[in-house]
Amino acid sequence: MKALVAGTGIAGTASAEVLLARGAEVTVYDRVDGPALEALRAAGARVVHGEEPPLAVLDQVTDVVLSPGFAPHHPLAAAAVARGLDVYCEPELAWRIRPEGGAPWLALTGTNGKTTVVTMLAAILSAAGLNTAALGNFGVPLVTAVDAGYDVLAVELSSFQLYWSRDMAPEAGAILNLAEDHLEWHGDFDSYAAAKTNIWRSGVCIGNLDDEHTAAALGDAKGLHVGFTLGHPPLGSFGVIDDVLVDHTGPEAVELCRTSDVHVPGRHNIANALAAATLARLHGVKPAAIAAGLRGYTPEPHRIAHMATVGGVDYVDDSKATSPHAANVSLEAYERIVWIAGGQLKGVDVNELVAAHAHRLQGVVLLGADRAELAAAVAKHAPGVPIVDVATTAPEEAMTEAVTAAAGMAREGDTVLLAPVGASKDMYRGYPHRGIAFAEAVEVLSR
């Protein structure tokens, strides 16, 4: 094999290393030279770097392994596809190199909730005594994990990874929800949703019956359909009866656990628990292990995390809410909100979100690249709500200014909620960095 690996982040570097170890001729490309390229050069890879993508290299390779940042319209990706090369991502490479009889994959995707569900699933599988890990869009790369002796892998997959896949067909695949996101990458919602449905290639199709777009996609899918719902489940699905999560795929509903066993706030997390339970049950996990896994589950940071109560005001970090769909879940969880929002909106419309929650807003603090669009939506749909515009772009200073302004507007009983709606790379290294900046600013308030 002669492969070009484009992008040398964690997954790209691991892909290049695995291909080199298997005797492939590997060229690696990134915009800027650095330690990762130097290490791969020392390992035997040919290295190319620069702002201009190395289109000439495509004449010398058979395979192109792309990092998620390479959208279909990127010149390098488009040229590789036009030449008829085999173009794919790191999870697809992992699928192709997995050993015969290796660990099955239980996979999931969705606009929101992926990391919560994949870590819930790993907690359940571990409670069942299985050697597992939550992987795919974080953690160790899948190309490394497939040879690590796991019993089963809990795999989170993004729309980018699913788009750049061809053969990858997990044992079971779940779609949690579908809403507008990453339109700048996919072009439109239909293309985005179509990429997500690649998770159903095996024909074992799990989907959220309460989500309009997911339910419609599930109805069109080929194979076994298994739905989950927060309501009373129809036969063949999972749901909730009298505050009990149940498996109703057989003639009688089987109790899995009580809703009170799920210790993360919000009804959406009951849906997340159902998704994890459905994947686990289809793998043969017993109800007792599902209950134990969910009872012991601790959520990942920056997901509706209560930071402090200062002067009777709650401060909540949901920096991971990088889309209107995710922010909607946060906003509907609280009655009176001073909302900190902003960032990169990725081409989505925020008017519907603001209109739906205008009655909750006591104040709005906006920061980041696309804050003007949010300001216009608030002015239109919540005209009496005060808005503070934070023009500072220095990350820590901007968040300190935002939290201070929010504290000045909040009254006892209110919640100051960081639910940005937008991505963070305009000002921060990522959503965790933004959440940490929020937590540090709140900590200063509480001294």
299 compared with 241, residue with greater pLDDT: 241
> CA 219, CA 415: separation in Å to the nearest integer?
39
**Bridge partners of 340?**
365, 418
> CA 318, CA 437: separation in Å to the nearest integer?
12
Contact yes or no for 186/163 (Cβ under 8 A): yes
> CA 428, CA 87: separation in Å to the nearest integer?
30
Per DSSP, the three-state class of 310 is strand
- Topology of the domain comprising 93-295: UDP-N-acetylmuramoyl-L-alanine:D-glutamate ligase (3.40.1190)
Of residues 212, 207, 210, 251, the one with CA closest to residue 231: 210
Per residue in 69-87, pLDDT tens?
899 999 999 999 999 999 9
Which of 16-20, 266-270, 278-282 bottoms out in mean pLDDT, i.e. has the lowest? 266-270
> CA 95, CA 291: separation in Å to the nearest integer?
30
Per residue in 35-82, pLDDT tens?
999 999 999 999 999 999 999 999 999 999 999 889 999 999 999 999
Specify the pTM. 0.78
Q: Report domain extents, the chain.
A: 2-88, 93-295, 305-445
Per residue in 408-420, pLDDT tens?
999 999 999 999 9
**CB-based contacts of 436, cutoff 8 Å, min separation 6:** none
What is 305-445's CATH number, 1.20.210.10, 3.90.190.20, 3.30.360.10, 3.30.428.10?
A: 3.90.190.20
Q: What are phi and psi of 154, to 5 degrees?
A: -95, 115
Per residue in 135-170, pLDDT tens?
987 778 999 999 999 999 999 999 999 999 999 999
pLDDT at residue number 257: 97
The length of the chain, given as a count of residues: 447
Would the pLDDT of 306 be above 90?
no
Per DSSP, the three-state class of 27 is strand
Question: Residue-wise over 242-266: b if at least 16 C-beta within 10 A, else e?
Answer: eebbbbbbeeebbebbebebbebbb
Q: How high does pLDDT run on average in the chain? A: 95
- Topology of the domain comprising 2-88: Rossmann fold (3.40.50)
> CA 298, CA 51: separation in Å to the nearest integer?
42
Fold match, 2-88 / 305-445:
no
